[in-house]
Structure 1
Amino acid sequence: MKEVILKKAGETFLKLGFKSVTMDDIANELAISKKTIYKYFKNKADLVNEATIFTHNQVHKEVLKIYNLNHNAIQENFEVKKVFNGFIQNVDDSPLFQLQKYYPETYKRITSQELCMFKDCLLSNIQKGINEGLYRKNILIDQVTKFYFSLVMSVHDSNLYTYNKNNIHKLELNILEYHTRAIATEKGIKILEEQLQQYNN
């Protein structure tokens, strides 16, 4: 039952936001009593923390599946983008921004975990792309990884962007294109443009 609650809570927080969702909402979504939720979680902050970690682990598993398939490096990044699209949707305010504002300790923990996951996956992707001739050989891999992570996280900063469900995925796609064009060879650019055309269709 605890895992069922975590899964539904994670989905609901990402769909409706961390601020507005109540314990009653989660209970109603699951057709259980609020008392049942409190058997497993002390309060909403505890549920937010565990549900966020649970969802992060789910995303990580799905991303690892992509990296185990036989995609080229550029296609791989587009497939990973689709995974994130599936998890974050329909909300009018950035889930990460809300997490940072209302649950800062959970935000710090999850962004630290996200950086580790992101760094490992991107290092692997860049090395793969270099081997395939899609990325330039003279890339400063560590710097490129940090640049890309900073750009991706900046999308969730309301001081920089007006976040809504209609533009978030477009912003992230623009960042992916920007990142890829910065490191790609001519061969890589051709594949990037093919992927962009497929994605937009």
Structure 2
Amino acid sequence: MKETILKRAGETFLKYGFKSVTMDDIANDLGISKKTIYKHFKNKVELVDQATEYMHNLMHTEVLKVYNMEYNAIEENFEANKVFKGFMQNSDDSPIYQLKKYYPETYNKIMSREFCMFRDCLLTNVEKGIREGLFRANLYVEQVVKFYFSLIMSVHDSDIYTYSKNTINKLELNVLEYHIRAIATKKGIKELEKQLAKLNTI
């Protein structure tokens, strides 16, 4: 039951935001009493903390599957983007921004883990792209990783962006294209255009 609550709560928080969703909402959605939730979580803060970690682990698992496939480096980035889109596709606002504003301790903990995961995956990806001739050989790889992470995180700042349906997904895709164009070789640009064309046919 605890895992069921974590999964549904995590999905609901991502869809509607961490502030607006109440314990009553989650209980009603699951068809259980609020008392049942409190058997596993002492308060909403604890539920937010554990549900966020649960969803982060799910996302991490799915992303690692992508990086273990036989994609080229650019295709790999687009497939990983699909994973993030799957988790965030119903968000009209930025759940990460809300997490930062209302649950800063959970936000800081998750962001620390997120950067480690992101850094490891992207370092491997950029190095792979260089070997494949898709990315330039003279890159400062550590800086590339930090630049891209900073750009992706900026997408979730509602002081900068105004959101509507699927805005976050579109912005993240734009950041991905921007990132690849900045580091790609001519061969890489051709592969990028191929991946973008695929998106336009979906």
Normalising by structure 1, report the TM-score. Answer: 0.98
Q: Is 2:66 the counterpart of 1:73?
A: no
8 A Cα contact 2:133 2:188, kept in partner? yes
Following superposition, the deviation at residue 199 of structure 1 comes to: 1.4
SS in 1 for 2:51: helix
CA deviation profile, 1:154-187 (whole Å, cap 9, x unmatched):
0011121112323221111110001001111100
Letter in 1 for 2:114: E
* Cα distance in 2 between the residues matched to 1:31 and 1:139: 53
8 A Cα contact 1:73 1:134, kept in partner? yes
8 A Cα contact 2:7 2:55, kept in partner? yes
Letter in 2 for 1:31: G
- The CA RMSD over aligned residues, in Å, is 0.8
8 A Cα contact 2:134 2:184, kept in partner? yes
Letter in 2 for 1:100: K
Cross-structure match for 2:132? 132
Spell out the pairing of 1:49-64 with structure 2 (5 A cutoff). Answer: 49-64=49-64
Following superposition, the deviation at residue 141 of structure 1 comes to: 0.2
Identity of aligned residues (%): 70
8 A Cα contact 1:156 1:163, kept in partner? no
SS in 2 for 1:149: helix
Cross-structure match for 2:185? 185
Q: Is 2:117 the counterpart of 1:117?
A: yes
Spell out the pairing of 1:77-116 with structure 2 (5 A cutoff). Answer: 77-116=77-116
* Cα distance in 2 between the residues matched to 1:20 and 1:158: 16
Following superposition, the deviation at residue 200 of structure 1 comes to: 2.4
- The alignment covers a number of residue pairs equal to 201
Normalising by structure 2, report the TM-score. Answer: 0.97
Q: Is 2:9 the counterpart of 1:9?
A: yes
Cross-structure match for 2:199? 199
8 A Cα contact 1:17 1:95, kept in partner? yes
Following superposition, the deviation at residue 91 of structure 1 comes to: 2.4
Unmatched runs of 5 consecutive residues or more in structure 2: none
Following superposition, the deviation at residue 89 of structure 1 comes to: 2.2
